Structure 1
Amino acid sequence: MSVSVDVWSDFVCPFCFLVSTSLKRLEETHDIELTWHAFELRPFGSPPPDAQYRQFIAEKTPAMVAMAKAQYGVDIQQGPFGIDSRWAHRATKWAEQQGAGNGFAKAVLAAYWLQGQDISQIEVLAACAESVGLDASNLAASLAEPLYDAAVEEDIALAQQLRLSGVPASVFAKRYLVVGAQPYDVFADVLQQALDPQQPSN
């Protein structure tokens, strides 16, 4: 039986990328239906990060990179800091409408966190779309359509309704909430609980 997994994330959040690695492994071992939902750590239209915050992030980055390598086996090569992720969220809704939302979202995360690309640029998003078999020749015009921005806002509103204050946040079977970039074993345990609620979790 397939289990739904709804994940609220922001593409520029390192822990959202790390959780994608755990979920990718879960997809390989279990029957899940993964859906990505928009969440903006810096809401659309926010001013650029100031120098003090940039310095804070710069100081924290080496520890995050080391942790990603040690615990998740990935070599981080981060894209530009402080970019607007709204276009990437819109593009995910566009890809989702064509049945490729999951693959596209993972391609965007990889582009930013493994390839150091600027995912606020249409050409980068187009390349991600093409990598999962989508025709991105008119992507810029498509993303200008109001329905995709409205879909992003719906995700954000639903996160507020569910009282999700941070990301990543993964909801299994519309019932079990897992917060943070948990390792594969945690997700596998929650998935088993979703499949058999009578079974005690580890």
Structure 2
Amino acid sequence: MSTSVDVFIDYVCPFCFLVEPALEELRRDRDVKVNIRPFELRPDPVPTLRPEDDYLPRVWNDLVYPMAERIGIPIRLPSVSPQPRTEKAFLVLQLAHEHNIAGTYSQAMFQAFFQDDRDIGDEEVIVDVSRTLGLEATSVREAMASPARKRQHQADLAYATETMRITAVPGIVIDGTPLQGTPSATRLKKAVDALTTSKGCRQ
């Protein structure tokens, strides 16, 4: 039986992008089901961050760039200011889930923001990125305007914060057990192996 791995992300979090190679290796080497779940770091009306202020450049210089260089992912601090809200992109994530391309869609959103410096809060950018993955523009626009999807998104955020107690991203929960930080592939596989062994002992 596959081990469930819930990955809570926000598309403006560089560490969520940088954990992608580790998750891909986990998918390749272990029998897991990875579930991409939304978590907005700064939901409306909380102000989003600005790259021209001190905080983002300091974090990027001290943490993001060294990690990206170590992993081998080209990445740069986006110039979009203030940083975009991600609700609309997450509404389309629901559509991507329905087409079984949630992982591919999320990767494309990260690349658009952190490699192509595009405003992923802009509806036309979201439509353009989605179309490259085979999603119809009409369906994407309908998803962003759907009251039902907005209600589902709020329920998903409540699940993250109230049920799973997620406070930071990437928030990785393996079969109900949270894993702190931005784990390597080795750490992810060890966690999956330990839980698999534990479940086997209880059966």
TM-score normalised to structure 1 length: 0.86
- Show the counterpart of 1:16: 16
Residue pair 2:57, 2:77 contacting (<8 A) in 1 also? no
Instruction: Quote how far apart the aligned CAs of 1:170 are.
Output: 0.9
Q: Give aligned pairs, total.
A: 198
Which residue of structure 2 aligns with residue 40 of structure 1? 40
Q: Are 1:62 and 2:61 matched, yes or no? A: yes
Whether the aligned pair in 2 keeps the contact of 1:193 and 1:199 (CA below 8 Å) is no
Change beyond 3 A, Cα 1:25–1:124: farther
Pairing 1:80-119 to 2, within 5 Å after superposition: 80-81=80-81, 82-119=83-120
% identical aligned pairs: 24
Contact kept in structure 1, 2:10 and 2:16, CA below 8 Å: yes
Deviations 1:29-68 (A, max 9, x none): 22321111111111123235479x8222123322334313
Tell me how far 1:185 sits from its aligned partner: 0.4
How big is each residue's C-alpha offset from its partner over 1:116-153, in whole Å with a ceiling of 9 and x where there is no partner? 22111222222332333322344223310112212221
Q: Which one-letter code corresponds to 1:161 in the other structure?
A: T
- For structure 2, list consecutive stretches of 5 or more residues without a partner in the other structure: none
Q: Which consecutive residues of structure 1, in runs of 5 or more, have no partner in the other structure?
A: none
State how far apart, in whole Å, the 1-side matches of 2:9 and 2:141 are: 23
CA distance in 2, matches of 1:96, 1:195: 26
Q: Which amino acid aligns with 1:191?
A: V
- Contact 2:42–2:48 (Cα < 8 Å) also in 1: no
Residues 68 and 76, structure 1, Cα contact 8 Å, conserved in 2: no
- Asked whether the 8 Å contact 2:14–2:64 carries over to 1, the reply is no
Q: Compute the RMSD of aligned alpha carbons.
A: 2.3
Checking the alignment, whether the CA contact within 8 Å between 2:18 and 2:68 is kept in structure 1 is no
**Shift of the alpha carbon at 1:86?**
1.1
Tell me which amino acid in the other structure corresponds to 2:9.
S
Query: Where does structure 1 differ by over 6 angstroms across 4 or more consecutive aligned residues?
Result: none
Q: State the secondary structure of the residue aligned to 1:197.
A: helix
Q: CA offsets, 1:141-176, max 9 Å, x none?
A: 331011221222112111222222211111112x22
Partner of 2:179: 178
Separation (CA, whole Å) in 2 of partners of 1:107 and 1:199? 37
C-alpha separation in 1, matches of 2:157 and 2:189:
27
SS at match of 1:87: helix
